[in-house]
Amino acid sequence: MPLRTLDSLGDLAGRTVIVRCDLNVPLSDGAITDDGRVRASLGTIQALRDAGAKIVVISHLGRPKGEPDPQYSLAPAVTRLGELLGVEVPLASDTVGPDAQRLVASLENGGVVALENLRFNPGETSKDEGERTAFAEQLAALGDAFVSDGFGVVHRRQASVYELAKLLPSAAGLLVAAEVDVLERLTTDVARPYTVVLGGSKVSDKLGVIEHLLPKVDSLVIGGGMVYTFLAAQGHAVGASLLEEDQIPTVQGYFADAAERNVTIVLPSDIVVAERFAADAPHEVVSADAIESSAFGASGIGLDIGPEASSTFAAAIEASHTVFWNGPMGVFEFPAFASGTRAVAEALTKVDGLSVVGGGDSAAAVRTLGFADADFGHISTGGGASLEFLEGKRLPGLEVLGW
């Protein structure tokens, strides 16, 4: 079944539409450090404004514990949303209380208001279906239709994602529809060669996606903190680098499976090893099979792939027609250890075909390193949701929209 899209809602002029966005932006001292998710929300909101709808934006930010907490207010994100839309977007001081009701009642056609952080209400993330439904009913009372456009939460069974979509006429927004379209292109009728690049800290976070995609890909490129478990599975000492010893047998199984399927697993040939985990730590490049030969011995910690590996990874990516990348190659937040991630990002901009940056830290990395969203085929707004989609899991926030 295809997703229900905005067209399925009919004429929206004069109707109040609740839009579940993902405005969960990173903040530093109250300032937004990456407004990518706010920008990603603009298409649907503007389409609804053009249709003459009255728009109620709802979202979460961070992980407050079911009660108001000023440090998690949506105010910075809503202010930025208003700037990008070029209109004032008032923010209610509550989620479904008197101020929310007042602002919604004051809406005119094409107007936009926002409700405070949904997770200030314990019903949003409650494990109890009844509690979630009760909160969803309060939200539903504020509108005539519901548009789900927060792809970063569609893998969650939460009140504003699942129950609310069952209570009102509902459809996927432009962002969610686009995300699903791209991710389906990564799992069916894929243009080859098909390469998946995985990084980040833990192998255990990527088990499902590796198992599901290994039969589908031509190459699996591994970097980041998770690579040390792969190197250890080959019998190499990795010093004080991040290591999940309990996953070594699983990784050894991946090597065997890949060999049987003629899938190439590309590991780094060299590693940037540092004395300690710090931006200014002394460091040197050593062979990936001799990490403990660095000047730091067994206490050395791998913080990036080396220059030779960066070139090898880039070549594998550029030779592909479909590439999915999730997870940085090193500690990109430290300039001295960002080269591997930069090389992978640069290579993705040169892919003759579909290049997808899989959300989360990868999306933050490309923007931090100065790349534009338009440099890539697609930058996902949902790291966890993207991975679960590619694992073949059914996502409740999509199923409730007919997917």
- Strand 301-305's sheet: what is its strand order? 283-287, 270-274, 301-305
Q: Is 23 annotated as a binding residue?
A: yes
Q: Is 102 annotated as a binding residue?
A: no
Whether omega before 193 lies within 30 degrees of 0, making that bond cis, reads yes
CA atoms within 13 A on the CB side of 275: 6
CA angle 288, 206, 267 (to 5 degrees): 20
**Both tokens assigned to 70:** 């000023």
Q: Is 267 annotated as a binding residue?
A: no
Clarify whether 360 is annotated catalytic. yes
Q: Is 115 annotated as a binding residue?
A: no
CB 60 within 8 A of CB 117: yes
Q: Is 156 annotated as a binding residue?
A: yes
Rounded CA gap, 149 and 337, in Å? 35
Alpha carbon of residue 4 to chain centroid: 22
Strands of 143-205, DSSP E:
145-148, 170-172, 194-198
**Both tokens assigned to 333:** 């937040």
Q: Is 208 annotated as a binding residue?
A: no
Q: Is 299 annotated as a binding residue?
A: no
Clarify whether 10 is annotated catalytic. no
The catalytic residue among 49, 202, 216, 276 is 202
The catalytic residue among 200, 306, 327, 360 is 360
Q: Is 206 annotated as a binding residue?
A: yes
Q: Is 262 annotated as a binding residue?
A: no
Rounded CA gap, 22 and 153, in Å? 7
The catalytic residue among 20, 37, 80, 132 is 37
Using CA atoms, how far residue 66 sits from 7, 22, 95, 124, 155, in Å, is: 35, 18, 11, 8, 20
Q: Is 103 annotated as a binding residue?
A: no
User: In the 8-state DSSP scheme, what is residue 263?
Assistant: P
Q: Is 155 annotated as a binding residue?
A: no
Q: Is 362 annotated as a binding residue?
A: yes
Clarify whether 37 is annotated catalytic. yes
Clarify whether 202 is annotated catalytic. yes
Q: Is 4 annotated as a binding residue?
A: no
Q: Is 369 annotated as a binding residue?
A: no
Q: Tell me phi and psi for residue 103, to 5 degrees.
A: -65, -40
Rounded CA gap, 78 and 84, in Å? 10
Contacts of residue 132, defined as CB under 8 A and 6 or more positions apart, other chains included, come to 123, 124, 126, 157, 158, 159, 162, 163
Q: Tell me phi and psi for residue 305, to 5 degrees.
A: -80, 155
> Per this entry, what is the length of the chain?
403
Rounded CA gap, 176 and 180, in Å? 6
Q: Is 205 annotated as a binding residue?
A: no
The catalytic residue among 66, 208, 384, 402 is 384
Q: Is 244 annotated as a binding residue?
A: no
Q: Is 361 annotated as a binding residue?
A: yes
**Residues within the annotated binding site for substrate?**
22-24, 37, 60-63, 119, 156
Annotated binding site for (2R)-3-phosphoglycerate: 37, 119, 156
Known binding-site residues equal 22-24, 37, 60-63, 119, 156, 206, 302, 333, 359-362
Q: Which amino acids are annotated catalytic? A: 37, 202, 360, 384
Which residue positions form the known binding site for ATP? 206, 302, 333, 359-362
